[in-house]
C-alpha cells in the first residue's frame, strides 16, 4: 500500500478522534458552568430549603456528563491502541533484528550493533575482536538426525556462546551453521582472548544429546581485530566480519577444529583461490585440461607395457599447472567428475592409436566413487570410443576404502566383470588392512613413491617395499613401483621379482604428440580401429 493511501485512510479517523476530544473538553467546560448553577439548587431543594433547579439546566448537565464519559472512554481506547501499536512495533523490531531460532542477533542487525560497541570502546584501552564460528560437520548432523536435531544443535551452540562471552559482547547467527561474536578485549593481554577462543572451541565441541544419542561437533574459528588499524571514529563492521570469515575458512582448510587470526596474506590467498576457481570453470569450458602420459615398464625385460594418464592444466593465465594445485580445487567445487571424464575421454581417443598390447591407466578421485553411477559412465565411455576394457585400468587410492566400502566393492566388481583392471594406488600411505585386500578384488598394488625412494637405505621405506612385494606374491597381486629415479633403485627392485615400474628414470610425463613420436619410432602405432567386437560386447552387457 502506498504511503499516500495510508495517509488518506488514517486522516478521517484522526479527525474523528480530535472531534471527540474537543467535544469532551467542551463538555467539561459546560459541566463546570451548568454544574455551578444546578448542583447548589438541587442540594437546597433536597434539604427542603429552596426551589429545585431549572429542568433545562439539569438536562444540559446530564448531557455534559454523558459527553465527558464518551470522551474519557475514547481517550482510554486511544491510549490502549497506542500501547498495542508500540508493542507490535517492538515485536516487529525484535523479529527484524534477531534470529527466531536462537534468539541471537541476525546478519542484518549485527553490523550496526558491532559499530556501536566499537564506538563505546574507542576511549578505552580495549580493542574489539570479530570472531567468526562455523560448525564443521553440521550438514552430516542434519542428514543423519533430521532438521529438528540440527535446530537443537544450533540453539545449544548459541546458548554456550552466550555463557562464555562477556556481558557487553554480541552474539549473532548469520545463517545456516555460521555464528559471529563481537567482543572487547584488552590489547595488552591478547593471550586472554586466545584462551577464551580455545574454551569456546572446547565448549561448543562438547556432545549434544539428541534422542538419547550423543552428537559431537567441531568448529572452525577466525578472528579479526580493530587493534590492527588506527581508529578514526568510523569502523566498517562488514569489513572486519569479512576478514574473520577469511581466517575461519583458513582454519577449515588447515584441518578444522581450530582457530586463526586474520593475516593479510590470507586475503591474497583467497583472491588467488577465487582466480583459480574461475580459471577452472573457464578451463573446463575451453578444453584447457589435457592428458599427459607416463611410461610403465616391465622391470625384468625393460619393455614398455603401457602409460598412466596424468592430468595437466594448460592455463592461459597460470601456465602449465600441476594436478596437486587444481585437483583439490575441482573437488571442492564439485566439478571433479566432469574434469576427470573429459580427460579420460581424450585419453581413450589417444590410446586407440597405440599398439593393442599397451594399457591405459587412469586415476579417479575418491569423490567419484561416491557416485553409484560411476561404473556405468566408465563403461559408456569405453563403448563410445570402441576401447577394449582389457587395456583399461582404473587406479583408486586407499582413502577411497574408508568412505563407503560396500559401494566401492560393488563398483569394483561391476567394472571387473566387464574386463577392466583395478589397481590400489599409493599403497602403504593409508590404512588398508589385509582383510580389505582379501575382500576387495584388486588386480594390482602400486607401491607409493615415498617408499620406493628409500630402497637401499637403512630406513623403514626399504623394509616396507620388501613387505609389500611379499604380500603381493602371497595374494597373487602383481606389483607396480612408482617413483623410480635412479639406476640403484631400479637394480634393487629387479632383485625383488617380476615387477612393473614407472618414474623419471624412464622420462618425464609426455604430451600425446611426444607419445606418438616415441611409439612411431618403436613401430607401435596403429590406425586406431582395434577391437570393435570387444566394444560391442561391452555395450550389450552394460
**Do residues 159 and 236 both lie within one domain?**
yes
What pLDDT does residue 54 have? 64
Q: Would you say residue 290 lies in a domain?
A: no
Q: Which of 202, 240, 217 is nearest to 134 (CA)?
A: 217
Whether residue 419 sits in one domain with residue 371? yes
Residue 59 placed within a domain:
yes
**Other C-beta atoms within 10 Å of 349: how many?**
15
Contact call for residues 219 and 201 (beta carbons, < 8 A): yes
Nearest in space to 485 (alpha carbons), one of 445, 437, 450:
450
Asked whether the beta carbons of 525 and 353 are under 8 A apart, the reply is yes
Look at residue 384 and give its three-state secondary structure: helix
Number of domains in the chain: 3
Mark 453-484 as b/e (b = at least 16 C-beta within 10 Å): bbbeeeeebbebbeebbeebeeeebbbbbbbb
Cell digits of residue 183: 567482543
In a domain, 416, yes or no: yes
Is residue 83 located within the same domain as residue 129? no
Buried b (16+ CB within 10 A) or exposed e, 17-36: eeebeeebeebeebbeebbe
Residue 483's region, left for phi above 0, alpha for psi from -120 to 50, else beta, is left
Q: Are residues 518 and 384 in the same domain?
A: yes
Adjacent-strand bridge partners of 444: 423
Whole-number Å distance between alpha carbons of 122 and 118: 6
| Grid cell at residue 527 | 590406425
| 126 plus 194 within the same structural domain | yes
DSSP H helices, 449-529, are 449-452, 460-475, 487-495, 512-522
Q: How many helices (H) and strands (E) does the chain have?
A: 18, 16
Same domain, 381 and 450: yes
Separation of alpha carbons 100 and 105, rounded Å: 9
Per-residue pLDDT tens, the chain, 542 aa: give them: 444 444 444 456 556 566 666 666 666 666 666 666 666 656 665 666 766 666 666 677 677 777 777 777 777 777 777 777 776 666 666 666 788 899 899 988 999 899 889 888 877 778 999 999 999 888 888 777 777 888 999 999 999 999 999 989 999 999 889 999 999 998 888 899 999 999 999 999 898 887 777 788 889 999 999 887 655 545 688 999 999 999 999 999 888 899 999 998 998 988 899 999 999 999 999 999 999 999 999 999 999 999 999 999 999 999 999 999 999 999 989 999 999 999 999 999 999 999 999 999 999 998 888 888 999 999 999 999 999 999 999 999 877 776 667 788 888 888 999 899 999 887 766 555 566 677 788 899 898 888 888 886 766 667 888 888 888 888 888 999 999 999 989 999 998 888 999 999 999 999 999 999 999 999 999 875 544 444 444 444 44
CA 215 centroid distance within chain: 19
Sheet holding 170-175, edge to edge: 170-175, 178-186, 126-135, 219-225, 259-261
362: β partners: 309, 394
- For residue 337, the domain's CATH number is 3.20.20.450
Please report whether residue 44 resides in a domain: yes
**Is position 103 within any domain?**
no
User: Is the same domain home to 331 and 463?
Assistant: yes
- Does one domain contain both 309 and 434? yes
Residue 200's pLDDT is 94
Q: Cα 419 from chain centroid?
A: 38
pLDDT at 287: 94
Q: Are 283 and 289 in contact (CB under 8 A)?
A: yes
Contact at 8 Å (CB) between 426 and 397? Answer: yes
> How many CA atoms within 13 Å lie on the side-chain side of 147?
2
pLDDT at position 539 is 47
Cα distances (Å, whole numbers) of residue 360 to 324, 344, 348: 21, 10, 8
- The answer to whether residue 284 is domain-embedded is no
Degrees, nearest 5: CA angle 483-488-492: 85
Q: Give the distance from CA 315 to its chain's centroid.
A: 27
> Is the residue at 279 inside a domain?
no
Q: Tell me which residue has cell 446530564.
A: 62
In a domain, residue 280? The reply is no
Q: What's the domain range around 30? A: 3-97
- The domain boundary, picked from 262, 280, 310, lies at 262
| Gyration radius from the chain CA atoms | 40
Same domain, 462 and 316: yes
Boundary of a domain, candidates 97, 129, 151: 97
Q: Residues near 193 by Cβ (< 8 Å), separated by ≥ 6? A: 129, 183, 185, 223
Residue-level pLDDT at 2? 44
Grouping H, G, I as helix, E, B as strand and the rest as coil, residue 38 is helix
* Residue closest to 169 by CA, chosen among 121, 122, 240, 108: 121
Can you give the pLDDT at residue 15? 60
pLDDT score of 269: 87
The CA–CA distances, whole Å, from 53 to 34, 45, 68, 83, 510 equal 10, 8, 21, 43, 123
Do 147 and 26 share a domain, yes or no? no
- What's the CATH number where 239 sits? 3.30.70.270
For residues 207 and 215, give the distance between their C-alpha atoms in angstroms, rounded to a whole number. 5
Pair (149, 208) in one structural domain: yes
Determine how β-strand 219-225 pairs with β-strand 259-261: parallel
As a whole number of angstroms, the distance between CA 380 and CA 181 comes to 52
Same domain, 361 and 498: yes
Amino acid at each position: 500500500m502506498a504511503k499516500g493511501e495510508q495517509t488518506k485512510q488514517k486522516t478521517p479517523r484522526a479527525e474523528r478522534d480530535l472531534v471527540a476530544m474537543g467535544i469532551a473538553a467542551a463538555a467539561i467546560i459546560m459541566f463546570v458552568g451548568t454544574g455551578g448553577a444546578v448542583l447548589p439548587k438541587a442540594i437546597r431543594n433536597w434539604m427542603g430549603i429552596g426551589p429545585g433547579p431549572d429542568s433545562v439546566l439539569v438536562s444540559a448537565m446530564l448531557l455534559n456528563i454523558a459527553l465527558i464519559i464518551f470522551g474519557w472512554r475514547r481517550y482510554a481506547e486511544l491510549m490502549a491502541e497506542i500501547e498495542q501499536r508500540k508493542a507490535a512495533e517492538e515485536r516487529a523490531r525484535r523479529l527484524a533484528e534477531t534470529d527466531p531460532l536462537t534468539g541471537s542477533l541476525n546478519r542484518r542487525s549485527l553490523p550496526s550493533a558491532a559499530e556501536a560497541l566499537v564506538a563505546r570502546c574507542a576511549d578505552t584501552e580495549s580493542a574489539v575482536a570479530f570472531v567468526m564460528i562455523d560448525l564443521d560437520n553440521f550438514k552430516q548432523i542434519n542428514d543423519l538426525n533430521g532438521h529438528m536435531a540440527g535446530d537443537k544443535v544450533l540453539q545449544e551452540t548459541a546458548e554456550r556462546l552466550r555463557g562464555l562471552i562477556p556481558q557487553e559482547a554480541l552474539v549473532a547467527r548469520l545463517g545456516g551453521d555460521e555464528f559471529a561474536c563481537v567482543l572487547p578485549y584488552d590489547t595488552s593481554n591478547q593471550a586472554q582472548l586466545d584462551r577464551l577462543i580455545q574454551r569456546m572451541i572446547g565448549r561448543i565441541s562438547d556432545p549434544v544429546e539428541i534422542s538419547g544419542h550423543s552428537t559431537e561437533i567441531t568448529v572452525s574459528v577466525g578472528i579479526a581485530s580493530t587493534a590492527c588499524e588506527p581508529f578514526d571514529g568510523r569502523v566498517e563492521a562488514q569489513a572486519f566480519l569479512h576478514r574473520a570469515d577469511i581466517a575461519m575458512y583458513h582454519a577449515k582448510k588447515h584441518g578444522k577444529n581450530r582457530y586463526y587470526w586474520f593475516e593479510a596474506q590470507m586475503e591474497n590467498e583467497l583472491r588467488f583461490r577465487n582466480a583459480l576457481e574461475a580459471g577452472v570453470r573457464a578451463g573446463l569450458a575451453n578444453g584447457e585440461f589435457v592428458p599427459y602420459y607416463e611410461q610403465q615398464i616391465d622391470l625384468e625385460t625393460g619393455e614398455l607395457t603401457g602409460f598412466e594418464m596424468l592430468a595437466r592444466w594448460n592455463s592461459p593465465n597460470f601456465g602449465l599447472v600441476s594436478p596437486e594445485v587444481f585437483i583439490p580445487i575441482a573437488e571442492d567445487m564439485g566439478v571433479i567428475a566432469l574434469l576427470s571424464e573429459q580427460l579420460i575421454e581424450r585419453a581413450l581417443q589417444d590410446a586407440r592409436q597405440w599398439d593393442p598390447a599397451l594399457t591405459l591407466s587412469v586415476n579417479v578421485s575418491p569423490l567419484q566413487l561416491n557416485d553409484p553411477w560411476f561404473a556405468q559412465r566408465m563403461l559408456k565411455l569405453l563403448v563410445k570410443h570402441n576401447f577394449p576394457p582389457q587395456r583399461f585400468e582404473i587406479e583408486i587410492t586407499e582413502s577411497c576404502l574408508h568412505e563407503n566400502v560396500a559401494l566401492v566393492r560393488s563398483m569394483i566388481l561391476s567394472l571387473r566383470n566387464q574386463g577392466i583392471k583395478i589397481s590400489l594406488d599409493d599403497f602403504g600411505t593409508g590404512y588398508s588392512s589385509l582383510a580389505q585386500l582379501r575382500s576387495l578384488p584388486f588386480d594390482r598394488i602400486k607401491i607409493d613413491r615415498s617408499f620406493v625412494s628409500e630402497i637401499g637405505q637403512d630406513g623403514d621405506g626399504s623394509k616396507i617395499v620388501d613387505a609389500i612385494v611379499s604380500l603381493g606374491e602371497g595374494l597373487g597381486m602383481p606389483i607396480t613401483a612408482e617413483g623410480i629415479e635412479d639406476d640403484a633403485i631400479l637394480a634393487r627392485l629387479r632383485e625383488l621379482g617380476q615387477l612393473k615400474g614407472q618414474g623419471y628414470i624412464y622420462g618425464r610425463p609426455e604430451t600425446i604428440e611426444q607419445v606418438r613420436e616415441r611409439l612411431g619410432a618403436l613401430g607401435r602405432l596403429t590406425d586406431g580401429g582395434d577391437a570393435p567386437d570387444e566394444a560391442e560386447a561391452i555395450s550389450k552387457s552394460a
